[in-house]
A = this chain, B = another copy of it.
């Protein structure tokens, strides 16, 4: 698969089906790994990074990985135009850091974007599995399976006492970061979100925005992940996160039911207006679009409106982002032009025969 297909195509996570898909958008597991006997990427020169990439690409192309997980395509991220790098970020295929300028950065990725290996990000390897809905254990099984298959060829930097060694101490140990993207409009509307988020930090979980660390929670989307990678086994980390996410799901579900029970007309009004605005606006900034899409997503779950598939909303989550908008249009655009184009993209996707 060419980089171009990946940039324009759809990803597995956008399917929008699976357990608790009405609240959990994605489940992601990533493993930080480094090759033994080589400096971490920030200490490597270009040649050193190319050496890492050659080793990883060779291992990924070898029997075990390809047999079990299909062919991974290598994308030389550093050689892509900035806009294309940003599109990969918007699709959640690479981290914002991995899109920064600098040599030797690559992505090995399967056809639907559910398996990816960032090479020469902060660590030599960042193995990622990204699935729709609440599928943390499935994502974990895939990521660790890829990890095992790679290890048949690669020699990882591993310490009996500390576990996997990583460039940043916050990842030492399991090197595991598991996260879920949850949509919590009910908790936001009923003003319970502050309490829920502060409870999460007390049990060692981090909450971030739609694009990870340092980004804001727009569109009522929150990314919840484990903070601790050391001193807990992988199963324990995943078990803790899953248990907490299930509590959040219950609370969000209760909040939605309370809203329908106590303010059905007001909610239908809000959802309807959001839908009508998305279908008819000619200028939409990113923040407003995400806010309205959140209300529409809620309304669809509660059957207050119909006619839009979750997949469409997930695809739009990415399609309305600045780089994806410009990539699809084939040209750079100023912010106002993007707002106009964003509204057009949304209108075109949401045109339905009303029933």
Which A residues form the contact surface with B (CB < 8 A)? Answer: 265-266, 268-269, 272-273, 275-283, 305, 340, 343, 351-354
> Once the chains are docked, how many angstroms separate the CA of A300 from the CA of B45?
63
* Chain A interface, DSSP helix/strand/loop, else mixed: helix
Q: Report chain B residues within 8 Å CB of A265.
A: 282-283, 340
Q: Is the CB of B280 within 8 A of A272?
A: yes
Smallest Cβ distance from A211 to chain B, in angstroms?
27
Q: Report chain B residues within 8 Å CB of A268.
A: 282
Q: Report chain B residues within 8 Å CB of A281.
A: 269, 272-273, 276
Of B269, B279, B283, B354, which is within 8 A of A269 by CB?
A: B283
Q: Is the CB of B269 within 8 A of A275?
A: no
> Once the chains are docked, how many angstroms separate the CA of A278 from the CA of B280?
11
- Which of A268, A272, A280, A305: most chain B Cβ within 10 A? A280
Smallest Cβ distance from A290 to chain B, in angstroms?
17
Smallest Cβ distance from A352 to chain B, in angstroms?
8
> Once the chains are docked, how many angstroms separate the CA of A268 from the CA of B347?
13
> Once the chains are docked, how many angstroms separate the CA of A343 from the CA of B351?
21
Of B275, B283, B340, B354, which is within 8 A of A351 by CB?
A: B354
Q: Report chain B residues within 8 Å CB of A280.
A: 272-273, 275-276, 305
Q: Report chain B residues within 8 Å CB of A276.
A: 273, 275-281
Smallest Cβ distance from A73 to chain B, in angstroms?
40
